[in-house]
Structure formats: structure tokens, C-alpha cells
Structure 1
């Protein structure tokens, strides 16, 4: 997310200044890494502070980007209806038919990427104890967020297909030369002098998503530490801001080091990291689904509702995600997968995915040896600290 923000920051400056060479600064590795780490630092500072700061920032950034996306999509449709589209393409039912995809590997890759697009919607669930109404607000917010993402994604996808088509022409969505940054290449033909607003919207979107993303992992680490699944220091809460300060800082350091190292290894780190994260999200969402089935096994048949919510829905979801993960993992071993980057003849996407899993397994085994109580199921009924309960009720 920080890397995307860097790209669009230089694109935005280039558009406003009229100097196209500025956009190329993002390809200068030292500059790219330095600016990326600056974004990471700012996001860390905001996330370390109280959630009211995060809330106000998110309202402004998310509101602005949604407005620009609506204008962008609306303008694309209007241009198509007025006969000014590059390749006018009326809406077709085949666009929404998964059976039109050529192969299951392509279908799995698309779903894996789409899961990355949805990644982050569950952040409200990881901070449920800090909401005003923890019994209802998180569930409602997560549901609204999912539907909002679906609506925006479909609107933008359909509008750009209507305007540019999926051919391989200059602005066609099948043209590999523009696929790295479709928004940038189509913003000018669609919005004219207001094209910079799209770059600004993507920049603010990346920045707001980056900042919100820090909230989720830090609280996940805090919860894991509280139940002895991680060392206790990850459960430390800032006495001033009442946020998981230690976990936030550790998350920032690990993410910053990961980006810097990967950016040096591969110029196409963004493409490969996004693809790898899609597979990783399938992995841990799938594990969560199977864990849900097992955890509620004694309640499956208490009611018809429970049959669907604690057995069938998570089981089917887990199986689908597991299939997507295995398919992506097998396909990504090919060096041509993703950006085409490789390490020792193995695709970079595969390497990233496997390394992350192996590191996680090693850390889990080490924690199990050091503190086995969690792995025996002895800590899951543990009450939240009194300070956390006070913050929740306040």
C-alpha cells in the first residue's frame, strides 16, 4: 500500500507540474524506498495515537476517494453514451459469468486477486472492543463495508469496460502496456484536465488503507499475546493512548524491512507482493473458516441458523479458499507467474508465500515450546484485562 502511494505521489506531482519525468522517480530504488518508509512512519504515528485521530483521518480520506471514483465512473459511462469512448462496449452478461474464463488457473488467480481487494474489511472486527457499541457496530460495519466494496468495484470495472473495452488497442484493458496502471492511463481521456483527481484519489486511498491496515495486525498481535499465543510484550498497551503500541511498532519495522528488501530484489515487487498476499489471505481466511467449524462443533445442530452459520457457510468458504490457495501456490512456482521475477528458477510469488508460511510455522513452534498453555486450549476463556474493559465501556 505504501509502495502504491509512492507511485501515485510522483504521478500526481508530474500531472500537476506538467513534467512527465517526475513520474519516473518512483523507479529510482533509493528514492522509492525512502519515500515509502516515510509513508510507513506517518501511518505508524497516526496508528499509535488514539483511535479518534484514525477515525477523523479515515472519514476525510475515504469520503474523498469514494466521491472521485463515483465521478470517474460516471464520466466514463457518459463519454461512452455520447460516442466519445475509445472502444464503446455495451454491458454484456458474459462479463459476470465465471464460466467464460478460459482456465481454472486463471479463474483462481482472479479470485485470489479479488480477495486481496477485499482484504482489510475485517479491521473493524479486530477493534470491536474499542467501538461505541461492541455488540452490534462491528458486525454492521463489516457488512456495510463488504457491500460498499462490491458496489464500487463493479461500478468501476463495468464503467471502464464500457469506455475502453477489453481489446489490446492503445487504451484497451487488454493492452499489457497500460495494465500496470489503468487508472492513470484512462484518467486523461475520461476526465481531461481533472485527471489529476484520480491520482490524488488513489494516493489518498493507499494512504488511508495503509493507516487502517496498521490497526488490524497490531490488535491481532495484542490478542494473541493476551492468550499466550505470542510473547506477552506484544500485549503492552500505551498508557497514554491506550493502543497496542509495541505491536504497532513491531508491525511497522517488519513491514518496512520486508518492502525495502523486496524492492531491492525485484523492480516488480508490488505486483508479486500483491499476488502473494492474495494467496496468503486465502490461507489464513481458510484456516479461520475451518477453525470456526471446529470451535462451534457442539452447537452445529442447536438451530437451523446454526447449521448454516457455524457449519455449512464456513466449511464451504474454507474449502473454496483452500482450493484457491493450493492452485495459486502450484501455479506461482513457474517463473513466468506474476511479474516474471524469480529466485533460483522459482517464481518470486511462490518464494514470498512459502517463506512467510515457514517463518510463521517456526515462530509458532518456538512459542509452543516456550508457552504451551494456549496450544492446549487452556487460555481461550481468559477475561480481558480490567483496563480494556474500562476503555470499552467508556
Structure 2
């Protein structure tokens, strides 16, 4: 069979049904495996140590209420994702579903939003893993100078590239290798987080806590936040810390039941993460209070890494386990986060929204080959360039992630509403899961997108860097989306078939 004939026969399923088999390994991931990978991608140990302090600084003891407020749109969007996955289990997720609902232009940008967000965060995860790698060595050897090696670019950059390459290698070897790697690291970080929480509550109970603060119902009341600006800032932070659960959907073609397992895993992942965040936030505030001095959770000096400050007083000689847990959390998330962009790029190559070479699958490991290497290489290049330019540029781009997350989640949620518009009102269940839940969740996130875009125009937003008085966070965030439009227009000229609905049909 000629190459052209093989390509034509491969495209036939997509032409007839709108979806096609990409050659990924089937039946390799069950609900447990998908949930573990979902938790790993969110990286609770790493996320909490970076997010707790800044969020407490914004909302004080209403931290649990803010987590609940951020959890709500994530859950509503996840319910919409579950319905879309049941109808169209495809590794392209946001790209595929938005294309089927709204057409190729919006679908392409939905895929770009996911790819851009995950590639940017990959570079950040690698950087954090390297920071804690050298910190852990310093703690083990008692040589504090080793921890400072991460500030040396000519040590930091090569080490970061090694971490990214290792994550690519594991991902390239497919879901079986990924699962084996993730089970151990996720289990370890959850054990350490549980240990930390139990020890903190024990100190509170024994009267040895730094600032014992009794838990009150008011902590769960979002109306008690002192201002709407603080509430909005807190919700923006909490949305970011829930991000990553949709990795369970991008594995749908590799699960034991593509129509059901990914949706169940996504919902379970969000619920489990919510439980973890709630317990840890209560433990931290109960032990340390929200004061701005000493070990207080509101102390600006503690905000960069709250666990680095509290682990010693709470866990005693076992505090080093927390550093190891954060290292394992960021390393595990670095690898699991690669799953999403690789499979989205694979789908875009398969449906010819990107060059067809991106649709290749490794015949040995039955995993995205070119797409995985491309995602890892893009993350590596992005990290090197931004780190050499300015550390502020790197962190401002991470701050701009909120724009892309809200964009592609919101678009996908509304795609659910539009795709099921003719059947959503047939049953009560359909009305809630196919219409109301994704509509509310999608609107909330798109409002957050607009609000964040407006706020980020302020030069004081993020690191304070600006160009001609326009905040760097806005320039970077919107710049990435504009770059996506440029690439899309280029692909429209080079490969018009996708944009004409020839390879992935819109459902009218």
C-alpha cells in the first residue's frame, strides 16, 4: 500500500464519523491510574507550598472559603467535560470538542490554549524540581552552599534540561511506564502531606502550636472576605491550583472504558484534591495563624514556600521528607503534565490542523512520539530563553497562565452547552449536566479571563515589569494567544483541509 493510500485510509474514519483511531495503546489505564496521574499533574505538595501564603495574604482565615469558590467552577466544567467525553472520547479533548461544536477556528484556538498553558507550566515545574533538588542535597550534606547552585544559570539550565529530558523519556515509553513512575511519587507526597496535617493538629491540640487558631464556620463563608478585589484575587489563585485535572480526559483513548473512565476520574480527581487542600489549609491556619510575623501564614517572608518554613517546627527531624515530597511532586507533575500537550498535538496532527508528522505514534510504545518530543523541546527552549532574558519574564509568564487556563476551559465548557443544545432539555439530568453546569462554569471562567486580562494591564501586576506602561503579564499572556492566531492562519494557508471541515466535521 502506498503512503498516500495509507494516509487516505487512515483519514476515512475521521471523515465519516468525525473521530478517528490514532493508534494509541488501548485499555492500559483504569480509574485508579487516571486519578493518580490527575493528582500528579495538579501536584498538591508543590502547589500548596507556593499558593497558601499568597492566598492567605489576600483573604486571611477565609482561605477554605476561597478554595470552595475556586472549586465550584472547576467541578461544573468537569461535569461538562465528562458529557463531551462520553459522546466523543478523543485525545484532542478541548481541540476536538470545540471544533465539533463551534468549528475549526475556535477549536484550533482551544487546542492552542491547552498546549501553550501546559508547555509554559512544564518549564516552571522543571525549575521548581531543580530548586528543591539542590535544596535536598544541601539538607542531606549539611552544606548550605549547594542550595545556592540553583542561582547559577550555568548549573541551573543544564540541570533543568536533564529533568525535562527525563520526563520526555518516561512519557515516550507510554502509559505503562508513566503509571509505574506516578504511583510511587504520588503515594509518597500524599503520605507526607497527611503526616504534616496530623502533626499540625496534634500541636494545636497539645498547646504547642505557634499561634493556635480555633477553626470557625466563618472560615468557610466567602461573603466574609473583606473586599471583592481580595475575593477575585483569591479565586484567581484557587482556580490555578485546581488546574490539571483534565489530563485524565486526554488519556481517554488509552483507558479501559473511554466513554466512562476519564469522566469518572476527572470528577474523583477534583474531589480528592479539594479534600487535600481543605485539610492542609485548616491545618496551616490552625497551627500558624494568619499573622505577619514569625511563622504566621500571612508573613510575606513565608509566602514563597510555606512548607519550607513550617515543616521543621511541625514535623521535627522528619521535615526533610517535606522537601523530598515537594521535589517528587514537581518531578511527577513535570512528567504527567507532558501527557496533555503531547496528545493534543497528536490529535491536531492526525486531523491535519498541524503538519501530519505530529500525528505519528511510536509503534513500540504506542505513544505520541513526535508530539512528546516536540512538547518537551518547546518547554526546554521556552525555559532557556526566558531564564536568560530575565527571571521576571519567566515568573510573569507563569502568572499569565491564568489567562490561558480560563480561556480554554471556558471555551470547552461552552462547547458542551452548544454541542448538546438540541437534547439538553429532554431530561432533568441532561439539563443539569449538559447545559446548566457547563454554562455556569464556562461563564465564570470567561469572566475571570476578561477580569484577569484587564487587571494584568496594570504595570504593578506580577513582577511590576512593563513596556510603554502596559503590564508584562498582559503582554505575555495575550502575546501567546496572538501567536496562536498567527500560527493558525499559517496552517490555514498550508493545510486548508481541516479548516474546510474535511478532516474533522463540525456537528451542525
TM-score (norm. length: structure 2): 0.72
Change (3 A) 1:274 1:375: same
Structure 1 Cα separation of the partners of residues 232 and 389 of structure 2: 26
- How big is the shift at 1:367? 1.9
- How big is the shift at 1:104? 3.2
**2:179 matched to 1:26?**
no
Match of 1:78 in 2: 202
**2:129 matched to 1:5?**
yes
Query: RCO (CA 8 Å, sep 6+): is it higher in 1 or 2?
Result: 2
Counterpart selection for 2:179 from 30, 37, 55: 55
**2:412 matched to 1:318?**
no
Query: Over aligned residue pairs, what C-alpha RMSD do you find?
Result: 1.8
Match of 1:264 in 2: 388
Moved more, 217-226 or 340-349: 340-349
Match of 1:106 in 2: 230
Match of 1:158 in 2: 282
- How big is the shift at 1:205? 0.6
**1:158 aligned counterpart, secondary structure:** helix
Structure 1 Cα separation of the partners of residues 293 and 226 of structure 2: 21
**2:165 matched to 1:41?**
yes
**2:259 aligned counterpart, secondary structure:** coil
Mapped contact 1:13–1:23 kept (Cα < 8 A): yes
Moved more, 68-77 or 13-22: 13-22
**2:139 matched to 1:15?**
yes
**1:278 aligned counterpart, secondary structure:** helix
The residue correspondences of 1:239-254 to structure 2 (distance < 5 A) are 239-254=363-378
Match of 1:206 in 2: 330
Structure 1 Cα separation of the partners of residues 453 and 485 of structure 2: 17
Q: Which runs of 5+ in 1 are unaligned?
A: 383-394
**2:303 matched to 1:184?**
no
Moved more, 90-99 or 230-239: 90-99
Counterpart selection for 1:129 from 226, 230, 253: 253
Structure 1 Cα separation of the partners of residues 161 and 234 of structure 2: 30
Structure 1 Cα separation of the partners of residues 228 and 165 of structure 2: 40
Change (3 A) 1:97 1:264: farther
- How big is the shift at 1:25? 2.0
Structure 1 Cα separation of the partners of residues 182 and 351 of structure 2: 30
**2:304 aligned counterpart, secondary structure:** helix
- How big is the shift at 1:241? 1.2
Structure 1 Cα separation of the partners of residues 204 and 367 of structure 2: 49
Structure 1 Cα separation of the partners of residues 389 and 227 of structure 2: 31
- How big is the shift at 1:323? 1.0
- How big is the shift at 1:145? 0.9
Mapped contact 1:266–1:341 kept (Cα < 8 A): no
Mapped contact 1:233–1:246 kept (Cα < 8 A): yes
Match of 1:222 in 2: 346
Moved more, 83-92 or 271-280: 271-280
Change (3 A) 1:141 1:320: same
Mapped contact 1:300–1:311 kept (Cα < 8 A): yes
Match of 1:330 in 2: 454
Q: Which runs of 5+ in 2 are unaligned?
A: 1-124
- How big is the shift at 1:380? 2.9
Structure 2 Cα separation of the partners of residues 71 and 340 of structure 1: 38
- How big is the shift at 1:271? 4.1
TM-score (norm. length: structure 1): 0.92
